[in-house]
Amino acid sequence: MANQSVTTESPLVRWLLILAAVGVLTLFLLLPLFAVFAEAFRRGWEVFLESLHEDAALSAIKLTLLAAGVSVPMNLLFGLSAAWLVTKFRFRGRAFLLSLIDLPFAVSPVIAGLVWVILFGARGWFGPWLAEHDIKVIFALPGIILATVFVTFPFVARELIPLMESQGSDQEEAAVTLGANGWSIFWRVTLPNIKWGLLYGVLLCNARAMGEFGAVSVVSGHIRGKTNTLPLHVEVLYNEYQFSAAFACATLLAFLALVTLGLKSLLEHFSGQKSGGGH
């Protein structure tokens, strides 16, 4: 109520603005979310549970968790090292490296998938060598993981770089003068400063890893029950007129997104309390 004296607009204008905001929010966010859940439960609970219990769905869920479970920790390491390197040191080619990190954001996911086919496909650069040694990359788990890692690479690094840049390296330099070695500087000085940003980046990275469609679609081969991830499985089911089952799997993805968002706001709450926030 204290705000009233601050705003100069008439109540009508304010209500119209609020109405417009709520309208846009409903149309673009709430309605689609509602539609997903409504479609999923249209034929009742049993059909919903059955479609998640089906072998192909279970294997898609497993594959999605596996791909995310491998690519997220990898990108956690890559992102952390990249951010550390770029922000704590000044060297030649640093600007180039910075834009290289953004590359996966800039290229279309289809290209992100096709590059792996060009490299590791049967007729790709390393294809004959891989075939000789009976190593499958494309149309198998490694290809799916490679595509996911590529697409989700920037999330952790992009989250950390501005944060670490704004913090500078004063504290690390102080630690060096006190005789700390590199490892303990990292654990005791750097990491505590960036932990919220890091977790936030990991969450975003995970959300995208589970939801990635384009790049994974190119390298998957769409073998049912084997190389279909959850987003691919949703498309397959939709094309097979199994709308309820498709939306049941879609609710799983939506649910994962909601959990991620919930965790994210929790994190923001905590990081706001503890470190003043990096965002």
Partner 1 sequence: MKHSILLLSLAIPLLGLSGCGKKDAASKSVSLLNVSYDPTREFYVDVNKAFKKHWQEKKGITLEIEQSHGGSGKQARSVIDGLEADVVTLALAGDIDVLNKEAKLLPADWQAKLPDNSSPYTSTIVFVVRKGNPKAIKDWGDLIKPGIEVITPNPKTSGGARWNYLGAWAWANKEFGGDEAKILDFITRLFKNVPVLDTGARGSTTTFAQREIGDVFLSWENEAYLIEKEFPGKTDVVYPSISILAEPPVAVVEKNTEKHGTTEVAKAYLEFLYTDEAQELAGKHFYRPRNSEIGKRYAAKLPELNLVTIDADFGGWAKAQKTHFEDGGTFDRIYQP
CB distance 142 to 126 below 8 Å: no
Binding mask 207-246 for partner 1 (x = CB under 8 A): --------------xxxxxx---------x--xxx-----
Q: By C-beta, is 101 or 156 nearer to partner 1?
A: 156
Cβ closest to partner 1, residue 41 vs residue 186? 186
73 binds partner 1 (CB under 8 A): yes
Distance of alpha carbon 250 from alpha carbon 237, whole angstroms: 10
Residues between 10 and 39 with contacts to partner 1, criterion CB under 8 A: none
Cβ contacts of 167-170, under 8 Å, gap ≥ 24? 167/193, 167/194, 169/87, 169/88
Contact 58, 64 (CB under 8 A): no
Residue count of the chain, please give it. Answer: 279
Residue span 138-177 as binding mask against partner 1, x where in contact by CB under 8 A, dash where not: xxxxx--x--------------------------------
Is 117 one of the binding residues for partner 1 (CB under 8 A)?
yes
Calculate the alpha carbon distances from 91 to 24, 58, 82, 161, 201 in Å: 46, 48, 13, 16, 25
Least distance CB 121 / partner 1 (angstroms): 4
Residue number, 98 or 114, with CB nearest to partner 1: 114
Q: How far apart are CA 184 and CA 200, in angstroms?
A: 23
Give the footprint of partner 1 on this chain (CB under 8 A). Answer: 66, 69-70, 73-74, 76, 117, 120-124, 127, 131, 136, 138-142, 145, 187, 191-192, 195, 221-226, 236, 239-241
